[in-house]
Amino acid sequence: MTRRLHLAVAAYGVGGPGQHGLWKDPRVPKNASIDIQYYIRQAQIAQAALFDAFFIVDSQFITPDYPSHYLNRLEPLTLLSAVATHTTHIGLVATASSTYNSPFNLARRFASLDLISGGRAAWNVVTSFDTGTSRNYGLEEHLDYATRYGRALEAVQVVRGLWDSYEDDAFPASLDDNQFLDPSKLHALNHVGEHFSVAGPLNVSRSPQGQPVIFQAGVSEEGRNLAAQVAEGIYAPGGTRAQAQAYFSDIKQRATAAGRDPDHVLIFTGASPVVGSSDAQAHRRSREIYDQDNDFDRKLGFLGRSFGAYDFAQHDLDAPFPDVAHLAEKGGRTAGQAIVDRAASQGLTLRQVVETLTEYRPSPFTGAPDTVADAIEEWFTAGAADGLNLRFRALEDLERFAGDVVPLLQKRGLFRTAYEHDTLRGHLGLPIPENRHSVRDQEDFPRGGFA
Amino acid sequence: MTRRLHLAVAAYGVGGPGQHGLWKDPRVPKNASIDIQYYIRQAQIAQAALFDAFFIVDSQFITPDYPSHYLNRLEPLTLLSAVATHTTHIGLVATASSTYNSPFNLARRFASLDLISGGRAAWNVVTSFDTGTSRNYGLEEHLDYATRYGRALEAVQVVRGLWDSYEDDAFPASLDDNQFLDPSKLHALNHVGEHFSVAGPLNVSRSPQGQPVIFQAGVSEEGRNLAAQVAEGIYAPGGTRAQAQAYFSDIKQRATAAGRDPDHVLIFTGASPVVGSSDAQAHRRSREIYDQDNDFDRKLGFLGRSFGAYDFAQHDLDAPFPDVAHLAEKGGRTAGQAIVDRAASQGLTLRQVVETLTEYRPSPFTGAPDTVADAIEEWFTAGAADGLNLRFRALEDLERFAGDVVPLLQKRGLFRTAYEHDTLRGHLGLPIPENRHSVRDQEDFPRGGFA
């Protein structure tokens, strides 16, 4: 099968991280983050452009200096359920924490979304990484990496087990036999593991895609291993093309080592394209956007997120970067350690750390439509991405990408010209997982040896 | 203010308890319980008839002999979020367990539904009562009554606290002041209680109705007290009019004793009307329905639910009712004890218990449209109900009630002839709860003594 590019859109309202100033953009309603119609419109535009998936990130802890979108937002599954009935084809990827949800609740809610959407749901598994979030759930300190990732792996296994509670032919609803359910096709899970004990069965049947797709975003060692073991879609950090290639091949190798088909582990690299009438115009626009977002206090506040919602405002901005190495474990460890190392090796002040981290770096996908299409083709063919997870500023920017860049990708044979499937698994070329109980039945009853 | 009748519809798919045989009804799609369009149509019909609310019950544990609807269903909040964007006025009441959900997750999801629906969400607080459910959440035995209800009360208090995280004017989004959020209007909760520690704040702002409405269904002593303390809508068991009156006055007294306005504690009595062209025809139809549902094995299976999902099929049907008194605590205690007492005092066999419990008893709301309207008026004026929580079999039965009975209730001045409000609180005549932080600010800053 020819390898095909995949496109997802990460939907925001008034602006997520790196879009601090988006609320000032007159094209974006001030309440866009909590306006369900704003999300429905984004999904419909992305669907009209034949995108694979519509993706909702999540965060469960805020401080007043967080990005505007994080401050006030809809819970992802609740949001996507509303979007589901106003769309017909695009995949719906909701972020949910395996640390702060029980597997039975997760299994029910994603299975429900999968039925409501006709087989278009996906779960983006996150482990949640800050102390601020843990304090919303009764824990003074969040769980350490090993526990969180062990729990995440087991949670995915339990949830998948629950999703197979009913075989596909479990409901004959036969008047002749006076039988609604065939009880032999309903299976309890009776899982007893290190982190969870879950009996089941789940009271939700399977959708046309069998099970929701599993997404993950792994950067740390534990995260990469989890992604390689269970993820079917991976949200990869952007960075340079060389960095993306290194991440891509690392994950594909780990997946292969874990006995999986690397083509069934699709890497969506994060990208914030800026499309202009010319390369120069696009770069001017890119710089304007940077300046609009350049809110030092908010960047300083958001920096704390990598250190367990640490409050950096208590420190002198022009003194050496404070000693917060021990806090990296409380936040995004990999990111936090990189910041600490950089500050130490370059002798940076707190102000310099913020400015260096957020210095102007135009997206590799900045330019006239042909330039952006060239960059996407290069990343795709060079093995830096199976697809892109695109972030736009306003609906108009998504529309422009859909109208000007997508047709170029189609002309080059990289992207579909019509939906060929009705489910997210179909779009992604992922097989429908056979129900584990049906498979067992087939093994019990050999098909005979006809050649 | 004139007292007004309220109407809710409890939406099912192929049939809940007491509707065991509904899947055989050719008017009902076999997969109605998981067909979101079936729910959307019900909600739209009920809204066209100016109903107050659309209600989704829940259950998290099944055995193969449970009613057809329980076997395969959508999670209530996920379901109602999809319904929200296809309706404009009707309230949306989702059942969720305070025992198996964390308050922070509940607060987020209901606040999201409240925003998505424009102020029409309500939480029906249940504590979940069977061992089967607890085993889906890692507990061998479910929590006892006192713990479950203590937890429920604290959960409601925490959730309400989180719902007030943002004052209503927290987001000036002012370009002049370069201020998106006014940080002084964002409040952490910092709750530390017996069952929960929750820091907050919640990252969801309030809807036009301030906070989702709290519903509850209390039958036990603990349940009635919880209802009287926190519920604004109460789902009451049906039974006879005298039983309903006794329940009604008991709850209103408890609410008054708890210092609440009894008019802000609305009692919705469960009713399954059967409307016919004549009283005789309606009663014939009622008997037909009973016969269609009369599935002994399923009734036997469902009886186990009052005793912690106990399997009665292991007993001789014609031997004395087994000694299961000690199991009543594992299920619906009040119902279980009543069954045990009745079996003992009347010397019933297991078969007789099932048959007695499910013997033919036509609904008091069976008859020609005038007869049904008379009964509703009587119950309403006699203080047996503030409203009815109506259950129908097929969409056509809801349509018939809407077309034939609702106009009679309107002619009698009992029921609204147009929606006068956009929110569920508005329909129910409930005040919008003032944000606790805004109230405190007003107290800190007296308004002066102008007469």
Question: Are B36 and A115 an interchain contact pair (Cβ–Cβ within 8 Å)?
Answer: yes
Beta strands in A74-232 (DSSP E): 91-97, 121-126, 191-192, 197-198, 213-216
Q: Which pairs with CB-CB distance under 8 Å and at least 24 residues apart come from A21-26?
A: A21/A292, A21/A293, A21/A294, A21/A295, A22/A68, A22/A69, A22/A292, A22/A293, A22/A393, A22/A394, A23/A68, A23/B173, A23/B180, A24/A292, A24/B175, A25/A292, A25/A393, A25/A394
Contact B203 A136 (CB under 8 A): no
CA distance A277 to chain B (A): 29
Would you list the DSSP string of A64-79?
TTS-HHHHS---HHHH
Task: Give which of A302, A310, A352 is closest to A329, Cα–Cα.
Answer: A310
In Å, how far are A110, A387, B231 from B218, measured between CA atoms? 30, 52, 10
Least confident of A280-284, B115-119, B318-322: B318-322
Give the start-end residues of each E strand in A300-414.
366-367, 387-390
Distance (Å, whole) CA A6 – CA B313: 53
Q: Is the pLDDT of residue A331 over 70?
A: no
Question: Cβ separation of B70 and A30 shorter than 8 Å?
Answer: no
Q: Which CATH number fits domain A6-278+365-436: 3.10.450.50, 2.30.140.10, 3.40.50.300, 3.20.20.30?
A: 3.20.20.30
Distance linking the first and last C-alpha atoms of chain A:
27
Model pLDDT for residues B206-216, shown as the tens digit of each residue:
999 999 999 99
CB contact under 8 Å between B34 and A115, yes or no, is yes
Nearest CB to B71 within list A60, A113, A181: A181
Q: How confident is the model at residue A335 (pLDDT cuts 50, 70, 90)?
A: confident
DSSP-based three-state secondary structure for A224: helix
* Stretch B163-172: mean pLDDT: 97
* Chain A: residue whose CA lies nearest to B192: A138
Partner-chain contact A181 B40, CB within 8 Å: no
* C-alpha dihedral (B121, B272, B386, B92), degrees to nearest 10: 10
On the question of a cis peptide bond just before residue A201, with omega within 30 degrees of 0, the verdict is yes
The values of phi and psi at residue B100, to 5°, are: -120, 20
Instruction: Compute the radius of gyration of chain A from its Cα atoms.
Output: 23
Among A73, A77, A173, whose Cβ lies nearest the Cβ of B78?
A: A77
Could you tell me if B46 and B55 are in contact, meaning their C-beta atoms sit under 8 angstroms apart? no
Q: Output the pLDDT for position B325.
A: 86
Return the pLDDT at A362: 94
The pLDDT score that the predictor gives to residue B446 is 39
- Which of B102, B137, B204 lies nearest to residue A72, judging by beta carbons? B204
Task: Name B126's bridge partners.
Answer: B97
Q: Is the confidence at residue A214, as pLDDT, over 90?
A: yes
Determine the pLDDT at residue A441.
Answer: 55
pLDDT at A448: 40
Averaged over B233-242, what is the pLDDT? Answer: 91
Question: Across-strand partners of A6?
Answer: A387
Can you tell me the mean pLDDT for A256-269? 97
* More confident position, A6 or B19: A6
Chain B residues closer than 8 Å to A180 by CB: 14, 23, 30, 68, 71
* B171 contacts on A by Cβ (under 8 Å): 30-31, 71-72
d(CA A121, CA B271): 36
What was the pLDDT predicted at A332?
Answer: 65
Residue B441 has pLDDT above 80, yes or no: no
B400 CB-contact burial (10 Å; exposed 0-12 / middle 13-18 / buried 19+): middle
How far is B267 from A435, CA to CA, in rounded Å?
45
Q: How far apart are CA A282 and CA A271, in angstroms?
A: 15
Question: CA-CA distance, B161 to B149, in Å (whole number)?
Answer: 18
* pLDDT, greater one: A309 or B376: B376
Would the CA dihedral through B198, B199, B203, B204 be positive or negative? positive
State mean pLDDT over A348-356: 89
Nearest-5° Cα angle at A60, A57 to A62: 110
Tens of pLDDT, residue by residue over A153-212, are: 999 999 999 999 999 999 999 999 999 999 999 999 999 999 999 999 999 999 999 999
Distance CA A94, CA B305 (A): 34
Interface test with B, best of A68, A180, A196, A298 (most B CBs within 10 A): A180
Q: What distance in Å separates the CA atoms of residue A42 and residue A56, rounded to the nearest whole number?
A: 12
| Tokens (6 digits) for A385 | 């991405």
Domain ranges within chain B, ordered by starting residue: 6-280+365-437, 295-357
CB contact under 8 A, B64 and A102: no
**Cα A314 to the chain's mean position, in Å?**
33
B79 to A84: CB separation less than 8 angstroms, yes or no: no
Q: What is the pLDDT of residue B1?
A: 56
Mean pLDDT computed over A144-160: 91
Whether residue B394 contacts residue B402, with contact meaning beta carbons closer than 8 Å, is answered with no
Tell me the average pLDDT of chain B: 92
Please choose, from the candidates A206, A200, A170, the residue with its C-alpha nearest in 3D space to the C-alpha of residue A186. Answer: A170
Q: Do A203 and B62 touch (CB under 8 A)?
A: yes
* Strands annotated E in B248-376: 266-271, 274-275, 366-367
Q: Give the separation between CA B297 and CA B21, rounded to whole angstroms.
A: 12
* Cβ neighbours for A189, distance < 8 A, ≥ 6 positions apart: A158, A161, A162, A165, A198, A199, A200, A201, A202
As a whole-number percent, the residues of chain A with pLDDT over 70 amount to 96
Distance from CA of A411 to the nearest CA of B (A): 37
DSSP A397-412: HHHHIIIIIHHHHHHT
- DSSP summary character for residue A451: -
Q: Does the pLDDT at position B451 exceed 70? A: no
The ipTM, to two decimals, is 0.94
Tracing tokens 């087990």 back to the chain, one arrives at A161
Q: Locate tokens 């996507």: which residue?
A: A80
Residue-averaged pLDDT of chain A: 92
Q: B197-198 and B266-271: which strand pairing? A: unpaired
> Rounded to the nearest 5°, which phi and psi values hold at A372?
-65, -45
Q: B6-280+365-437: what fold?
A: TIM Barrel (3.20.20)
Peptide bond into A273 cis (omega under 30): no
Residue from A32, A8, A114 nearest A394 by CA: A32
Chain B CB contacts of A30 under 8 Å are: 171, 173, 180
Do B136 and A59 make contact, defined as CB atoms within 8 angstroms?
no
If one compares A293 and A170, the residue with the highest pLDDT of the two is A170
> Pick from B28, B55, B410, B411: which is nearest to B235 by CA?
B55
Q: What pLDDT digit, counting tens, does each position of A36-78 carry?
A: 999 999 999 999 999 999 999 998 989 888 889 999 999 999 9
* Count of A-B CB contacts under 8 Å: 177
CB contact under 8 A, B181 and A74: no
Percent of chain A at pLDDT > 90 equals: 73
Dump strand ranges (E) for B272-346: 274-275
Pairing outcome for strands A121-126 and B266-271? unpaired
pLDDT of residue A129: 72
Distance CA B381, CA B365 (A): 15
Q: Please write the tens of the pLDDT for every residue from B249-288.
A: 999 999 999 999 999 999 999 999 999 999 999 999 999 9
Q: Out of A139-143, A204-208, A377-381, which region has the weakest mean confidence (pLDDT)?
A: A139-143
In which band, very low, low, confident or very high, does the pLDDT at B332 lie, cut at 50, 70 and 90? low
> Range with the lowest mean pLDDT among A283-297, A437-451, B169-183, B325-339?
A437-451
Q: Using one digit for the tens of pLDDT, what is the confidence trace for A9-42?
A: 999 999 887 788 899 999 999 999 999 999 999 9
DSSP B59-93: -----TTS-HHHHS---HHHHHHHHHTT-SSSEEE
A205: amino acid identity, one letter? S
**Can you point out the beta strands (E) in B159-201?**
191-192, 197-198
Q: What is the pLDDT of residues A219-231, one digit of tens each?
A: 888 889 999 999 9
Q: For B385-401, what is each residue's pLDDT tens digit? A: 999 999 999 999 999 99
State whether A204 and B34 contact (CB < 8 Å).
Answer: yes
Residue B65 has pLDDT above 80, yes or no: yes
Q: Which residue, among A24, A40, A73, A78, would best test binding to B if mutated, counting the most B CBs under 10 Å from its CB?
A: A78
Residue A105 has pLDDT above 90, yes or no: yes
**Is residue B450 scored above 60 in pLDDT?**
no
pLDDT at site A450: 45
Chain A residues closer than 8 Å to B203 by CB: 59-62, 70-73
What residues form DSSP beta bridges with A54? A9, A92
Question: Does B239 have pLDDT greater than 90?
Answer: no
